[in-house]
Chain A
Amino acid sequence: MSVIKAEGVTFVYGQGTPFQKTALDDVSFEMREGEFVGLIGHTGSGKSTLVQLLNGLLRPTKGKILIDGNDIWQNPKKIRQVRFKVGLVFQYPEYQLFEETVAKDIAFGPKNMGLPEDEVEKRVQKAARFVGLREELMEASPFELSGGEKRRAAIAGVIAMDPDVLILDEPTAGLDPLGRDALLDQIVSYHKVRRNTVLLVSHTMEDIARIADRIIVMSKGKNVLFDDTRKVFSQGEELEKIGLQVPQITKIMMMLRKNGFPVDSSVLSVEQGFQEIISCLSSD
């Protein structure tokens, strides 16, 4: 069943001014309940505009965004309700922390929803556990945390609203390799428990390949591809044409295939690639 759906969405910045620019051009797609979707495209392809349209921060110039079948702009006064349903974690979200304690900051979203005190408390605890924030940090000032911890606290602030759709814009930007892997693993395990829809925007193809079920590819304001992860990355040449890369391991397999070796060129991880090579070596 589709949770969120875009129907012919067009968005123009600064309409009627000299800065007028079409950021999105007739984009349609739908995301199903419980799936993990990756969103890729280079800077300026319309990714950031799209995610802000999905949670009602921007209003489409043309077209509709539907959540559970209802147009989110049907009643503009209720647009805040949409933002609780579609949680959006911006790039470098640690820059939005402002409360005295981490716990209070995470509680900001749930409080805005008007939830009772004990429910807020429960959600804060749960969200902190999801992102792996240690108990003793909850009463610390968010400004005293390390970079990685701040990032987690900020993500927890959105998770605490318990959204049906969680959108993360480059959640691992600037983290070191291990921090990156750890945070992504946490997001994956959160998704496994909560079973909601997650949309992950990333420049790192290796990460997307590892965790997404399906991938939306954006280029010049249009969604040029939306398919299973394997199928998207098996079209390496198409992707390169619009200036995107495939994971290195996928590229290696494609090059082997070009040289006449019958390996599966849609592998997405080193582990899969390793197995592929081994089985190719053992067969004749």
Chain B
Amino acid sequence: MASFIEVHHVYFRYDDEETPGEYVLQDADLVIQKGEFVSIVGHNGCGKSTLAKHFNSIFLPETGDVLVDGLNTKDDDQLFAIRQKVGLVLQNPDNQIVAGIVEEDVAFGCENIGLPSGEIRERVDRALKAVGMYDYRTHSPDKLSGGQKQRIAIAGVIAMEPECIVLDEPTAMLDPQGRMEVLRTITDLNRTLGITIVLITHYMEEAVLSDRVLVMDSGKVIREGTPREIFSQVEFLKKHRLNVPQATELIYRLKGCGWEVPDCVLNEEECVQALLTLLKQTKGKGDQVCQ
């Protein structure tokens, strides 16, 4: 796989006239491969949203560089090229919808880059179908649910045919139903269209879906690995204000007492499988109980 986004030793702090402030990103260093589904997890204030805005030149590093498909985000001439390659979806669905009609909002980005109207039409229809909102194309966004609005926002980004979509806590304001819709949509985009996905979240249940998890704290990536590798380190995650699904925690605790279970399970099915195997094997041999 080829690298798509490279972040090299980036330091960043917010401008504040009176106090220069602390660095929000401190030596952030990471690589995102083409076509992969990465999640970046970390507690509120760890710098993950600030990092996301570096991926498409909304913020520029104070020191260090961010390269998108080989283009440096500091290069002013490449600004629009970079923003076409990397789309960004924000947390609050209401605040990123520009137009009062669904299809016109989806068209907004394409209109900005000066595409002919026939092509915009095609792209908008395709994007709306990809997120399953084609039937709502002439509706007003006001009457839609949070999950639907967030899918419209995603469609607006897809219509620009980016190679990568960065989603900054896209589900934080949604109910479970809306969260599921959005997650299904992005997993789908990754699998069928091969779009690189960077999902920023503090829900570990969502990180499970990705190929690779990056854990952030104090402005840098402190650990990375497959969901299985990361989730098996329950103590480490707790230390960094994160937690794991209940299934993972249960198996982790049994493992800690010396029971024969896998190192890590990611969901309830795996957990039940592990428990069934354990129960069948060790029924009646419960002397090694640890409370």
Judged by CB atoms under 8 Å, the answer to whether A and B touch is yes
Docked Cα-Cα span, A174 to B253, in Å, equals: 28
Docked Cα-Cα span, A278 to B282, in Å, equals: 11
Contacts of B177 in A (CB 8 A): 42-43, 243
In the complex where A42-B177, A148-B44, A281-B289 touch, is A176 in contact with B241 (Cβ < 8 A)? yes
Interface hit among B104-112, B120-128, B158-166, B271-279? B271-279
* Interface residue from A42, A174, A255, A274 paired with B173 (Cβ < 8 Å): A174
User: Does chain B have a CB within 8 A of A137?
Assistant: no
A-B contacts at CB below 8 angstroms, number: 103
Docked Cα-Cα span, A190 to B224, in Å, equals: 39
A252-B176 in contact (CB<8A): no
Docked Cα-Cα span, A175 to B177, in Å, equals: 19
B287-A282 in contact (CB<8A): yes
User: Does chain A have a CB within 8 A of B247?
Assistant: yes
Docked Cα-Cα span, A42 to B178, in Å, equals: 10
Shortest CB–CB separation between residue B290 and chain A, in angstroms?
8
B291-A179 in contact (CB<8A): no
A248-B246 in contact (CB<8A): yes
B243-A252 in contact (CB<8A): no
User: Does chain B have a CB within 8 A of A17?
Assistant: no
In the complex where A177-B241, A179-B43, A206-B246 touch, is A270 in contact with B259 (Cβ < 8 A)? no
User: Does chain B have a CB within 8 A of A146?
Assistant: yes
Q: A43-B178, A281-B286 are in contact. List 15 more A-B contacts (CB 8 A).
A: A42-B176, A176-B202, A178-B242, A181-B243, A247-B246, A248-B245, A270-B253, A273-B246, A278-B289, A281-B279, A281-B282, A282-B286, A282-B287, A283-B284, A283-B286
Shortest CB–CB separation between residue A169 and chain B, in angstroms?
12
Contacts of A145 in B (CB 8 A): none
B282-A43 in contact (CB<8A): no
Binary A-proximity of B123-143 (CB < 8 A = 1, otherwise 0): 000000000000000000000
Shortest CB–CB separation between residue B149 and chain A, in angstroms?
13
User: Does chain A have a CB within 8 A of B268?
Assistant: yes
User: Does chain B have a CB within 8 A of A280?
Assistant: yes
Docked Cα-Cα span, A274 to B289, in Å, equals: 11
Report, nearest first, the 6 A-B pairs whose CB atoms are least far apart. A282-B286, A284-B284, A178-B241, A248-B246, A176-B43, A249-B246
A280-B43 in contact (CB<8A): no
Q: 8 Å CB contacts to B: which residues of A242-284?
A: 243, 245, 247-249, 251-252, 255-256, 259, 261, 270, 273-275, 277-284
User: Does chain B have a CB within 8 A of A85?
Assistant: no
B250-A173 in contact (CB<8A): no
Total A residues in contact with B, Cβ cutoff 8 Å: 38
B289-A282 in contact (CB<8A): yes
User: Does chain B have a CB within 8 A of A203?
Assistant: yes
A43-B175 in contact (CB<8A): yes
Q: 8 Å CB contacts to A: which residues of B175-190?
A: 175-178
18 A-B residue pairs with Cβ-Cβ distance under 8 Å, sorted by A, are: A42-B177, A43-B145, A43-B177, A173-B173, A174-B172, A176-B202, A178-B241, A206-B246, A249-B246, A249-B250, A256-B276, A259-B272, A261-B279, A270-B250, A278-B286, A282-B289, A283-B284, A283-B286
B44-A284 in contact (CB<8A): no
Docked Cα-Cα span, A274 to B254, in Å, equals: 7
Q: 8 Å CB contacts to A: which residues of B238-265?
A: 241-243, 245-247, 249-250, 253-254, 257, 259
Shortest CB–CB separation between residue A61 and chain B, in angstroms?
23
* Interface residue from B172, B202, B241, B250 paired with A274 (Cβ < 8 Å): B250
Docked Cα-Cα span, A61 to B257, in Å, equals: 58
Contacts of B246 in A (CB 8 A): 206, 247-249, 252, 270, 273
Q: 8 Å CB contacts to B: which residues of A137-162?
A: 146-148
A252-B272 in contact (CB<8A): yes
Shortest CB–CB separation between residue A147 and chain B, in angstroms?
6
Contacts of B282 in A (CB 8 A): 281
User: Does chain A have a CB within 8 A of B64?
Assistant: no
Shortest CB–CB separation between residue A41 and chain B, in angstroms?
10
Shortest CB–CB separation between residue B234 and chain A, in angstroms?
11
Contacts of B245 in A (CB 8 A): 248
Shortest CB–CB separation between residue A243 and chain B, in angstroms?
7
A248 nearest in chain B by CB position: B246
Contacts of B291 in A (CB 8 A): 275, 278
B275-A256 in contact (CB<8A): yes
B275-A277 in contact (CB<8A): yes
Contacts of A177 in B (CB 8 A): 43, 202, 204, 241-243
Contacts of A175 in B (CB 8 A): 44
B265 nearest in chain A by CB position: A252
User: Does chain A have a CB within 8 A of B45?
Assistant: yes
B250-A176 in contact (CB<8A): no
Contacts of A277 in B (CB 8 A): 250, 254, 275, 279
Contacts of A273 in B (CB 8 A): 246, 250
Contacts of B271 in A (CB 8 A): 252
Contacts of B287 in A (CB 8 A): 282
Contacts of B242 in A (CB 8 A): 176-178
A273 nearest in chain B by CB position: B250
Q: Which of B257, B275, B285, B290 has the most CB of A within 10 A?
A: B275
